[in-house]
Amino acid sequence: MAEINKKFLVGVYDDEDIALAAVNKIKSAGVKIYEVYSPFAIHGMDTAIGHPRSRIGIAAFCFGVVGFLCALTLTTWTMGIDWPMVIGGKDPLSYPNYVPAMFELTVLFTAFGMTFTFFISNGLGPTVKPLLFDPRCTDNKFIMAIDLSKNKLSETEIENLIKASGAEEVSVKQL
Amino acid sequence: MHVTSPVRTPLVTGGKTYADVTEDICKQVEGKPTKEWKVAFVISLAVLAYGTVCLFWTWWEGLGVWGLNKTVGWAWDITNFVWWVGIGHAGTLISAILLLFRQKWRTSINRAAEAMTIFAVLCAASFILMHMGRPWLAYWALPLPNTFGSLWVNFNSPLVWDVFAISTYFSVSCLFWYVGLVPDLATIRDRAQNKVSKYIYGVLSLGWNGSARTWSRYEYISLILAGLSTPLVLSVHTIVSMDFATSVIPGWHTTIFPPYFVAGAIFSGFAMVQNLMLVTRVVYKLEDYITFEHIESMNKIITLTGSIVGVAYLTEFFIAWYSGVEYESYAFYNRMAGPYWWAYWAMMTCNVISPQLFWSRKIRRSVKWTFFISVIVNIGMWFERFVIIVTSLHRDYVPSSWAMFSPTMFDIGDYIFSFGFFFTCFFLFSKYLPVINMAEVKGVIKSTSEKLPLKVSGVSKAERLASPAYKKDAE
């Protein structure tokens, strides 16, 4: 992992509004923020830190298309090519009747494809050891981590910035 | 984080802070099982054991042990199946449709409702397996290459659509539920005291650490999953209704079935959520999270969907008369005044009249009334399916084939099995997993709680309100 042997400054905040304001304040001072950890989603936090917009919607759409094509192939092959049968006096290939199965398979592929893309792209998995700067980030605290090697300002300058932005505690963490 | 108008009543009462939310929910998971829980669990296990014996005998002997006859070939099995599938609609409705509508009150009830959905769909699926008679051949319903001359499943058949709909619905519901659970499992992992639970919740929480990047994608996929689940949940009961509606049996062959079944499903699902949540809220002391506001909102949905169901009943009658089809007219006349009149009127009373009591604010905010009417609604919805299935079948085309259906102890025992299974699962869930979505509740606590959390670490409330982020959101 890229984080090995790096020094981080960790600020602990008590409130999501203060944390969000702090991110804006510290960013405007020219400091790059590594990440903010929170017990729940804070709207606008990802853009405030400067994370790019997620492209997972595109992945979801692609999985949906794959699911639909699989369903189309399955129904066409089984009903029309491999063993065509006239049922209820209708053409062996009666696509309107296959809409339910196609719809369900499209949804199934989209949901699972997208969610597993999410797990993989965020490095989530049953054997993953979580990178926790402070375990309270899953309870009630908002944790800001700043990678010192990625910033030009000195440690004390950044520490003062974090303190001034309303942090309860500031600590150094070596990974 | 938008600012809610002060007129709106708070969703979380008692001035809870984020730490309080964690503590209140996690202590149920971390503590030793209470005596009440143990008693309830043992009872549900006993019920399950009795049901399992009945089910074993049903499979051992064959479906002849049921009360079915040549005329009434579907009775309690499919009634129970449709009833459980219907109940299984509330969870996804709450978490998906209410998410799309930005209804914040869903946050306190969505976790338990989704769990209930999953267990209810499993119960429904068990009746599919049961009524096959030879459950070991259930895989015949899947489009698998086979040795019968490459004959495939018939994609023109609503029964095959059902296989796809129910299995997709079940898997996507599980996925949606699990994704929502991951942040809360991480909370439990970080609080866990002993090694075993730290390991188990650690594996289940997939290394979640609540980074902003993960949260933003999490929100994104939750929205897409909600967008997918909404048509999915509507499709499931639509397809279930097509099992009947695409047939030529008078009483089944009606185009009103899909919307009418979907409304009925939401109706019974919410009633079941009420029953479970009213008990959970008292036992786990969650009155600050599941408030009268939540109960009232759910009751309003019950009244709405109950009224839709009522209108559907009347429309069916009107169309039976207006169409001039005498077989259709007779089927409906026979429902109302034939030998099964009691089932019909039980359905009408329970489903159409009882939810109208919720027009009274006093009744819809009363725990006792809500619990009572919810039970009545579910009885009524069971009778609805019984009326549709049995009364449409029992008068066959030739009067010499007319028959009545009476259940045997195995019809009843197999139904009891599903209750035992459902409650066993629900008790296990309520003990070992957080019953309320902590992360989502924390997310709405500030905009909707009675007061803002007091601790602000050196920054005054005025300063905080003046912060650029807060102002921007207020705009």
Q: How many other CB atoms are there within 10 angstroms of residue B97's CB atom?
A: 17
Q: Answer whether A56 sits within 8 Å of B220, measured CB to CB.
A: yes
Distance from CA of A124 to the nearest CA of B (A): 5
Going from N- to C-terminal start, the domains of chain A cover 7-53+133-174, 56-121
| CA atoms of B265 and B87, how far apart (whole Å) | 6
Helix (H) / strand (E) element for A9: namely strand A7-13
3-state secondary structure B79-139: HHHHHHHHHCCHHHHHHHHHHHCCCHHHHHCHHHHHHHHHHHHHHHHHHHHHHHCCHHHHH
Q: Which residues in A lie closer than 8 A to residue B17 (C-beta atoms)?
A: 140
Q: How many angstroms separate the CA of residue A32 from the nearest CA in chain B? A: 14
Q: Give the closest residue to B266 by CA, choosing from B422, B372, B426, B113.
A: B113
Of A5-9, B163-167, B219-223, the one with minimum mean pLDDT is A5-9
Q: Does B29 touch chain A (CB under 8 A)?
A: no
**B310-357 pLDDT, tens digit each:** 999 999 999 999 989 888 899 999 999 999 999 999 999 999 999 999
Residue B466, token pair as written in the block? 């003046």
Q: Do B183 and A40 touch (CB under 8 A)?
A: yes
CB-CB under 8 Å, B235 with A100: yes
Mean pLDDT of chain B: 87
Neighbouring CB atoms inside 10 A of B440's CB total: 23
Q: What is the dihedral of CA B256, B257, B263, B269, to 10 degrees?
A: 170
More confident residue, B21 or B45: B45
Average pLDDT of the residues in B43-48: 96
Instruction: Kindly determine whether residue B156 and residue A124, on different chains, have CB atoms separated by under 8 Å.
Output: no
CB-nearest partner of A111 from B17, B210, B225: B225
Is A4 a residue whose pLDDT tops 80? Answer: no
A39–B183 CB contact, under 8 Å:
yes
Is residue A74 over pLDDT 70? yes
Query: For the segment A144-156, what is each residue's pLDDT rounded down to a tens digit?
Result: 888 888 878 888 8
Sort out which chain A residues have CB atoms less than 8 A from B235's CB and list them: 100, 103-104
CB A56 within 8 A of CB A121: yes
Residue A136: predicted pLDDT = 85
Report the residue from B190, B205, B218 with minimal CB separation from A139.
B190
Inspect the interface and report whether the beta carbons of B175 and A111 lie closer than 8 Å. yes
User: Which A positions 52-81 lie with beta carbon below 8 A of chain B?
Assistant: 54, 56-57, 60, 74-75, 78-79
Does position A50 have pLDDT exceeding 70, yes or no? yes
Q: Phi-psi region for residue B14, left (φ > 0), alpha (ψ -120 to 50) or beta?
A: left
**pTM confidence score:** 0.89
Q: Tell whether B53 is within 8 A of chain A (Cβ).
A: no
Chain A: give the shortest CA distance to residue B347, in Å.
30
Q: pLDDT, tens digit, for every residue of B290-323?
A: 888 889 989 999 999 999 999 999 999 999 999 8
Q: Distances from the Cα of B319 to the Cαs of A121, B175, B247, B324, in angstroms?
A: 55, 41, 17, 8
The confidence score (pLDDT) of residue B473 equals 44
Helix (H) or strand (E) holding A11, with range, is strand A7-13
Q: Do A138 and B183 touch (CB under 8 A)?
A: yes
> Distance between CA atoms of A125 and A132, rounded to whole angstroms?
15
Chain B window 456-475: which residues touch A at a Cβ cutoff of 8 Å? 456-459, 464, 467-470, 472-473
| Chain A partners within 8 Å of B214 (Cβ) | 122, 124
pLDDT > 70 in chain B, percent? 92
Is A133 a residue whose pLDDT tops 90?
no
Q: Is B215 touching A (CB cutoff 8 A)?
A: yes
Q: Which of A34-38, A42-46, A99-103, B466-470 has the highest mean pLDDT?
A: A99-103
The number of C-alpha atoms within 13 Å of B249 and in the hemisphere containing its C-beta is 20
User: Which pLDDT score, from 0 to 100, does residue B56 have?
Assistant: 93
Rounded to whole angstroms, the Cα distance separating B203 from B129 reads 32
**Short-list B318, B380, B383, CA closest to B354:** B380
Among A15-19, A72-76, B163-167, the minimum mean pLDDT is found in A15-19
Domains along the sequence of chain B with CATH: 18-137+152-401+409-454 (1.20.1630.10)
Measure the CA–CA gap between B1 and B446, rounded to whole angstroms. 8
Q: Comparing C-alpha atoms, which of B299, B86, B175 is closest to residue A118? A: B175
Q: Which residues of B touch A131 (CB under 8 A)?
A: 207, 209
Whole-Å CA distances, B298 to B84, B106, B229, B255, B311: 19, 10, 20, 28, 20
CA distance B434 to B111: 8
* B205/A contact by beta carbon, under 8 A: yes
Question: Looking at the domain A7-53+133-174, which fold is it?
Answer: Alpha-Beta Plaits (3.30.70)
Phi, psi of A174 (to 5 degrees): -100, 130
Amino acid at A162: I
pLDDT of the residue at B460: 47
Residue B162's pLDDT is 92
Residue B25 has pLDDT above 50, yes or no: yes
CA-CA distance, B24 to B16, in Å (whole number)?
10
Are the beta carbons of A14 and B457 separated by less than 8 Å? yes
* Residue among B152, B206, B212 minimizing CB distance to A49: B212
Instruction: Extract the tokens encoding B132.
Output: 């096959």
Residue B457: which pLDDT band, with cuts at 50, 70 and 90? very low
- ipTM computed for the complex: 0.91
| Total residue length of chain B | 475
Top-confidence residue, B281 or B53 = B53
SS3 for B366-389 is CHHHHHHHHHHHHHHHHHHHHHHH
DSSP state of A147: E
The torsion angles phi and psi of B245, rounded to 5 degrees, stand at -65, -25
Q: Give B240's pLDDT tier (boundaries 50, 70, 90).
A: very high
Could you identify the residue written with the tokens 């489903």?
A: B351
> What is the C-alpha end-to-end distance of chain A, expressed in Å?
10
pLDDT at residue number A17: 85
Whole-number percent of chain B with pLDDT over 90: 51
